[in-house]
Structure 1
Amino acid sequence: MAGRKNPFDELEELFERMGRQFESMGDQFGGGGVGWQPGGMSLDVADRGDEFVVTADLPGFEKDDIDISLRGDRLRISAESSAETEAGDEDFLRKERRQQSMSRTLTVPEPVDETGVSAEYKNGVLTVTLPKEMDEDDSHDIEVN
């Protein structure tokens, strides 16, 4: 049994492939990815040379509502919140509930230094910085005169 694959890893890969196909369908319809889907999370991914910067719009969430994980080359961002308000007097009672959740997983195109990953959340915008893994070879050539 030691050489047997975990079936949940295969299911996760299947969902990832399906997600990528839906994203490309969104591009065909002019939707620009999952933004056309209800509840989708808008993401920007920038390659800044020595790091990747992922920016996600998460309006209405608090910092504690957000969960970020990096597993191999997959970055997963999820956010979930719920709120309940109650107002009333002796003639009227009103109770409102709200639940909101978003999730997005993306594949990072190059290996990253997991120890240097950082995240900042400000004014409804999450910014995740993923420094690229540097080559182990720090040597340089020396010219002989």
Structure 2
Amino acid sequence: MRRNPFEELEEMLDRLSSQVEEGMTRGGGLPVPGDVAVDVADAHDEYVVTADLPGYETDDIELTLSEGTLRLEASHEERTAHEEGQYLRRERSQRSASRRIRLPEPVDEENVTASYNNGVLTVTLPKESEGEESKQIDID
């Protein structure tokens, strides 16, 4: 007797779903264009968000915190050609990147700090009370 093709399809989708979940938990997921690789650590009394943003200047990065969500956006101007001629190969993209990180607990928005060093952005968010309004975060 022949198997139901829908059962075979369902089994295949279950296997695929398991593989995707396994890859994401091990950090081996495929990069999505415009996505920023981040680590979020719970350091008992604060959250520390670390993001890889190589090639950006501090002025290219915008951080906002609103209703328990940290929004990170980075962009810089497109370069049309090398200063002294044309490109023969161009693999270093000039792209925008963004990421939204939902925080599990309210944070003290007035004491959030951010620093950017060697292409790595570090945002420290002390845990405390929930705020209602958006707050712009300056990067040192």
1:53-72 mapped onto 2 (5 Å cutoff): 53-72=48-67
**Residue identity opposite 1:61 in structure 2:** Y
Runs (4+) of structure 1 exceeding 3 A deviation are: 24-27, 85-88, 95-98
Q: How does 1:19-58 map to 2 (within 5 A)?
A: 27-28=20-21, 30-31=23-24, 32=27, 36-58=31-53
Range 78-87 or range 106-115, more displaced: 78-87
RMSD (Å), alpha carbons: 2.8
Give the TM-score normalised by structure 1. 0.63
What is the distance in 2 between the residues matched to 1:121 and 1:26?
Answer: 35
Higher strand share: 1
The secondary structure found in structure 1 opposite 2:94 is strand
Per the normalisation by structure 2, the TM-score is 0.65
Which runs of 5 or more structure 1 residues have no equivalent in the other structure? 1-23, 135-145
Aligned residue-pair number: 107
Q: With a CA cutoff of 8 Å and minimum separation of 6, indicate the structure with the bigger relative contact order.
A: 2
Q: Does the 8 Å contact 1:26/1:34 carry over to 2?
A: no
Structure 2 gap ranges (5+): 1-16, 130-140
Partner of 2:105: 110
Instruction: Summarize the Cα distance change of 1:127–1:34 in structure 2 as closer, same or farther, 3 Å threshold.
Output: farther
Question: What letter corresponds to residue 79 of structure 1 in structure 2?
Answer: A
Match of residue 75, structure 1, among 67, 70, 88 = 70
Distance (whole Å) between structure 2 residues aligned to residue 104 and residue 34 of structure 1 = 16
Distance 2:98 2:30 in 1: 12
CA contact (8 A) 1:34 1:40 kept: no
* Identity percentage of aligned residues: 50
